[in-house]
Amino acid sequence: MKLKFYIFLLALTIPLIAFSQITRPCTIYLKSGEVISEMRGTYNNKNFKYYKKVGDSYNKIKIELLDSVLLTEESGSITKLRFLPVIGDKKLQIVEQIVIGKLELYQQITNNQYNTDYQYFIRDKNQEKLTKIETSRFGSNKTKSILFPFIEDCPELVNKIENDFFKVIPDITLIIGTYNITCGLNKN
């Protein structure tokens, strides 16, 4: 009888411990303007789940209602998640904001058994939807043809990419940052 009771307690405790380990301290910003702070949270493709302290039941918010979430990593660094539409996709994508300015760059990280994949998205700050940058063909003309309309008003940068000074995917953060500093500031 005691063994069954201990197994029962263990079965109840493991999900709480597992959920607390994958959650991180966060501040949640809703599209309505409301801010929910001092929480711990995690997410899936439909909901963001959060709670105040370990052992509390969690609350769910549909990602359609979220503007952004700031997650605090163990190292103290802050990750800003956005929940944005993508051209050609029906559902919102959960993306990490990595560069802001005239052009905004976002990434989505997918871990699988063998490696980590990065998917990049770009948009002009005045656009609602993101444009997916193809990452399957590193430096391909298709990748350049997606990127070039965003930076065509910066011929020096386009020239550096054409002459392979910058490789589109490995240097995407540097390319967008360079654009924002050199050409994007004049457009604001």
- Please tell me the predicted confidence (pLDDT) of residue 143: 79
- Please tell me the predicted confidence (pLDDT) of residue 176: 93
- Relative to beta strand 24-30, strand 93-99 is unpaired
Only one residue has tokens 């303007």, namely 33
Higher pLDDT, 185 or 163: 163
Q: CA dihedral defined by 124, 81, 182, 166, rounded to 10 degrees?
A: -100
* Tens-place pLDDT, residues 154-179: 999 999 888 888 887 788 899 999 99
Global pTM exceeds 0.85: no
Residue range 133-144: mean pLDDT, rounded: 64
Whether residue 188 has pLDDT greater than 60 = no
Whether residue 142 has pLDDT greater than 80 = no
Alpha helical stretches, state H, the chain: 2-22, 141-151, 155-162, 172-182
Query: Other C-beta atoms within 10 Å of 179: how many?
Result: 24
Q: How far is CA 32 from CA 46, 59, 73, in A?
A: 18, 17, 26
Only one residue has tokens 């990419």, namely 161
* Tens-place pLDDT, residues 50-78: 888 777 888 899 999 999 999 888 888 89
> Which of 73-77, 114-118, 144-148, 151-155 reaches the highest mean pLDDT?
151-155
Residue range 125-141: mean pLDDT, rounded: 75
- Please tell me the predicted confidence (pLDDT) of residue 23: 76
Two structure tokens written together for 39? 């929480």
Whether residue 187 has pLDDT greater than 70 = no
